[in-house]
Amino acid sequence: MLDAPWIIPLLPLLAFAANGLAGRRNPPWTGWVSTLAILGSFVATVVLWIQSTGSDKDSSVLYTWVASGGFDIEIAFLTDALTVVMLLVVTGVSTLVSMYAVGYMDHDANKPRFFTWIPLFVFSMIMLVISDNLLQLFIFWEMVGLCSYLLIGYWYERDSANAAATKAFLVNRIGDFGFAIGIILAFHEFGTLRYREIFDGLGAADPRMVTAIACLLFIGAMGKSAQFPLHVWLPDAMEGPTPVSALIHAATMVTAGVYLVARLNPVYSAAPEALLLVAAVGTFTAFLAATIALTQTDIKRVLAYSTVSQLGLMFLAAGAGAYTVAIFHLATHAFFKALLFLGSGSVIHAMNDEQDMRQMGGLRSKLPVTYATFILGGLALAAIFPLAGFWSKDEILALTHLKATSDPGSSLSTDHGAGIFWVFYFTGLAVSVMTAFYTFRMIVKTFHGKPRNAELHAHAHESPRVMTLPLIVLAAGAVLAGAVLGIPPEHGIIHGYLKYAAGIVHLEGAGPPATLVLALISTVAAGGGLLLALGAYSRGMGIPALARRLLPGAETLFRQKWYMDHIGDGFGVAFTKATAMISWGFDAGVIDGIVNGVGHLSRFTAGQVRRLQTGQAQNYALLMVVGLVLTVGSLVLFR
Amino acid sequence: MNGTMTTGEAALDFPLLSLALWLPLLVGLPIIVLARSRNAIAIGALMASLAQAVLAIVITVTFDHQATGYQFVEEAPWIPALGISYKLGVDGVSILMVLLTGILGPLVVAAAWLTIHRREREFFAALITLQTAMLGVFVTLDFILFYVFWEMVLIPMYLMIGVWGHERRIYATIKFFLYTFAGSVLMLVAILAIRFTTGTFDIEAIPEEMAGASQILQRWVFVAFFLGFAIKVPMFPFHTWLPDAHVEAPTAGSMVLAGVLLKMGAYGFLRFLLPMAPDAVDEARGLVVALSLVAIVYGALVAMVQPDLKKLVAYSSVSHMGFVTLGIFTATQTGIDGALVQMLSHGVVSPALFFAVGVIYERAHTRRIDELGGLAPRMPIYATLFGFFMLASLGLPLLSGFVGEFLVLVGAFDYATGVGVLAALGVILAAAYMLWMYQRVALGRLRNQALATIPDVNRTEILTFVGLGVLVVWVGIFPDTFVRLLSATTAGLAG
């Protein structure tokens, strides 16, 4: 099995083909074909993990994709420790989500389509993390984006779903624009796109070019992993079925950007400015998304902004040079965020597709399994000791703190002084408070108190076992993953194993005593946020109303998502369309006008063209364009 | 063919090229003329084009990718007094075009059988003549013979638009004819100028002979050739004949036009301009690269706001062909390889999109995007196939469009970073106009109640789509199958 890593992507690919051909006949087995194929991949990955030491091996080449004038690209498999960890997360969570979806999508008439795209996604994601070069990664990076597009727009008769799907694709394309440029520049600088050969070439490379490449590649990561300002697609992506949100938009695909930075860690370590950019963008995004999550009323949108925020923390870790910790948090987050999304799906399922928390409340007794597992997931997300999120998030803060306090001149310090990392550290603490607050606000509003919609509440029922079993397995992960993988802090199983990944340098911490103090501080922060939310929302202490009165501007800003969608639609979309209209007017009026003018003069065409060409059509088109530009322009300026 | 002979370079001692070239005309045309029923005519045309397709595949498979010169060369005197000969051959520049012309043939015949309902005999005769003429353009190595085929392409295409076209067909036909005819005349001037300088019409021999030509002559040759080919591609700002021609042409006509005819201009750049006026090309490189960038970005922007589906696809062609000319004029091997792969890819994807538009037009009798919408639940197979080619067009990896564009981008960055960045913008815009179009046409709610009972694609239509799709997937997943055929030739073309 060790010598046959190709079996891992092959199984989901076969399931994709089988379910795709099953098509409209809608046989009952498509969901199970998908689930069993992915389970097979998971088992193969476990075997690979057990048999491998995770240490550097030669990658195995499948075939030459293209060879053109020195631009030689192979499709190849690299199975080092980092890939194996990612494969375990991807195939493990995918198996559970696919199983859950068998129940969730049961009544959907088009479910073969759903179970066609899910294995295609898993295949693409596997090929992404198993790649040994940047171009293969990019190819499947776009393929997972395609699957995301197809699944966000799964209910394609809904205009909102279609708009969200197109938006997701386009925002990701903007990120990939930077990514593609970064890849090509990397090829020009290093003469290769294989990770290992790039790492070997770093010493001789132009440092400014390395920084540029690292920043450009990070733009791609910002798109895929929903970092400011390219995060705007992820909350809208909640239009897709909830299992998709859990799998693609929480646990796996959106973490690809974090994986990219971790995978290329020697490049980033050689480009301190780029690394600082990673940390800054991550920290800011974590903060921004957390503030928005405080005010959302749609249960899935709270989780979506929470995901954006947690991804920001992973980038903070990576930007601090703690790549191992970034992957650790990626793994624990995959468990508890998939759990929370699937739990919210169970609630939505029970509430007849209602997602608004203002219609919920009091579901605790109706959905006991969902409630119990959701609480565990919430505690893990809030990073309460000893659940999974505690271990990984605490390490992020501890290492950020370490960067802030390290002596100038030591190997850990950055060229830009430690001050900025103090900002990152305290922002991270604030995010911890807000995370715990919005998580328990969500739990209380959903499960506690009195039912706010009696009719929906009366019909609510616990989900079938095919859905609750994945919840229980994920809950076990959310409770245990951190402790199992991460004890003792910074020297746990995952840290030890990832040492063997290509290029990863393990960042040593400040030792247990300091860690203990920091752990206490972050626990107090998280606990405080949690208690605040419990007090405010279950006992009616009126904090939200108070906050609204004291900080009306902030509350509106958060609720309006910092007006990012307005800016994107207003400037981005409207500007592009206006430019397009002007171009069309120019084409019809000026260029074709000249052509037809020449035609006018020509006696060959005089008879025919003159009749058709009074000039009026062009004038109308031009007037239309001018009018439209003015209208759109005024809308943008004065809305 | 009597009087043909093969030289030692050919892999098979058999006039394969001549057979592929003349078979449609000499065998297909009599059948079409003599056949009595519509089906018999179509079957005759299908058989002839299928035979040509098989021969094109055989030529591609037996093509020796390591040899540098022309292969399958045939040479015989034609008009010895004027030094004109019948000389054929293929190399890395033409091999993919031979393959494309051959494979597209039967698929266009199928599309014509589905959509042409009057004067079928004449239409198929024109189509089959076109098949011979187009292949002739790509395989001749004598300048006069080349010019004959080049002009021979023009006439059937002119008839297809003028006779079987839509409402404004006369306007479009005249525009098409005048534009391309002007280009042809300029080209003829260049051919004659070269003849008087080098004393030969032999395309294989001319590059060496032209090496000693004066800078001034090179510039004149460049201007004449460039205009002729730029109109054909079409490059900005000579592109406005294309949307009109496409909108008015019948589906099968649009497919040939987008699939093969546009490639003739790009082929001309590679076959004649680069080797025969290299210094002038160097001088003009910046301008041509700039025009290509304008075509990429501007073509995409104009495509974005087209209300007519066919015009949208036509303007997308302007944008995608911009990548081809960009790749060629970066003068890097990767860029030229990319241009040739892009020519093959666009040569399949664009006809597929025009066919998709035709399928809808046959049923809904409209091409206006705002009169469509919500087709996916009613036509699931169609929506899937259309979506597939839409994704190929916007450059999704693992489909053909990505390969050519990415290689061109690699070449463009070699030329200048800014050029590469601007060209990459086109990739974002392509996604924008394609996805937005697809969203309004296939997805959402049904807006036009007349389409409530619209039938899904039938077997012949599916087969046509799948025939086109095979190449799209193959190029996307195994591009080296094709790129390896080019390297020996393109390495020599790169500056």
Q: Once rounded to an integer, what is the mean pLDDT over residues A597-606?
A: 61
* pLDDT above 50 (res B5): no
**B27 close contact with A: CB closer than 8 A:** no
In sequence order, the β-bridge partners of residue A75 are A63
For A576, the closest of B302, B424, B432 (CB atoms) is: B432
- CB within 8 Å of chain B, chain A residues 187-216: 187-188
Q: What share of chain B is helix, strand, coil (3-state, %, to 5)?
A: 75, 5, 20
| Chain B positions in Cβ-Cβ contact with residue A166 (cut-off 8 Å) | 435-436, 439
* pLDDT above 70 (res B444): yes
pLDDT tens digit string along B89-124?
Answer: 999 999 999 999 999 999 999 999 998 888 888 899
The torsion angles phi and psi of B140, rounded to 5 degrees, stand at -80, 145
Q: Which of A27-31, A118-122, A148-152 has the lowest mean pLDDT?
A: A27-31
pLDDT tens digit string along A430-461?
Answer: 999 999 999 998 998 888 888 888 888 888 88
Q: Once rounded to an integer, what is the mean pLDDT over residues B379-395?
A: 94
| Chain A positions in Cβ-Cβ contact with residue B427 (cut-off 8 Å) | 173, 177, 180
Say what the pTM is: 0.90
**8 A C-beta contact, residue A585 and residue A617:** no
Angstrom distance (rounded) from CA B337 to CA B332? 8
pLDDT tens digit string along B231-259?
Answer: 999 998 999 899 999 999 999 999 999 99
In a 3-state reduction of DSSP, which class is residue A606?
Answer: helix
Shortest Cα–Cα distance, A582 to chain B (Å): 8
* pLDDT above 70 (res A624): no
Residue to mutate among A25, A66, A75, A155, with most B CBs inside 10 A, is A66
The tokens describing A442, both together, are 């969500």
Q: Once rounded to an integer, what is the mean pLDDT over residues B441-446?
A: 90
Shortest Cα–Cα distance, B421 to chain A (Å): 7
* pLDDT above 50 (res B10): no
Chain B residue with minimal CA distance to A169? B431
**8 A C-beta contact, residue A37 and residue A11:** yes
Shortest Cα–Cα distance, A622 to chain B (Å): 14
CB-CB under 8 Å, B445 with A159: yes
pLDDT tens digit string along A334-374?
Answer: 999 999 999 999 999 888 888 888 888 888 888 899 999 99
Judging by beta carbons within 10 Å of its beta carbon (0-12, 13-18, 19+), is residue B76 exposed, middle or buried?
Answer: middle
Provide the pLDDT confidence category of residue A542 given band limits of 50, 70 and 90.
Answer: low
Residue A381, C-beta contacts closer than 8 angstroms, at least 6 positions apart:
A306, A310, A336, A337, A340, A389, A435, A439
Provide the pLDDT confidence category of residue A60 given band limits of 50, 70 and 90.
Answer: confident
**Averaged pLDDT of chain A:** 85
| CB contact burial B233-272 (16+ within 10 A = b; e otherwise) | bbbbbbbbbbbbbbbbbbbbbbbbbbbbbbbbbbbbbbbb
Q: Once rounded to an integer, what is the mean pLDDT over residues B212-219?
A: 86
The tokens describing B82, both together, are 């004027």
CB-CB under 8 Å, B305 with A584: yes
Shortest Cα–Cα distance, B65 to chain A (Å): 13
Max intra-chain CA distance, chain B? 69
Which helix (H) or strand (E) element contains residue B378?
none
Residue to mutate among B185, B247, B480, B493, with most A CBs inside 10 A, is B480
Percent of chain B whose predicted confidence (pLDDT) is above 70: 97
Angstrom distance (rounded) from CA A618 to CA A607? 19
- CB within 8 Å of chain A, chain B residues 377-406: 377, 380, 391, 396-398, 402-403, 406
pLDDT tens digit string along A160-214?
Answer: 999 999 999 999 999 999 999 999 999 999 999 999 899 999 989 899 999 999 9
Please tell me whether the peptide bond between B479 and the residue prior to it is cis, using omega within 30 degrees of 0: no
**8 A C-beta contact, residue A318 and residue A395:** no
For A184, the closest of B170, B305, B413 (CB atoms) is: B413
Residue to mutate among B240, B244, B332, with most A CBs inside 10 A, is B240
**A156 close contact with B: CB closer than 8 A:** yes
* pLDDT at residue number B3: 39
Chain B residue with minimal CA distance to A149? B435
* pLDDT above 70 (res A469): yes
**8 A C-beta contact, residue B464 and residue B64:** no
- CB within 8 Å of chain A, chain B residues 48-107: none
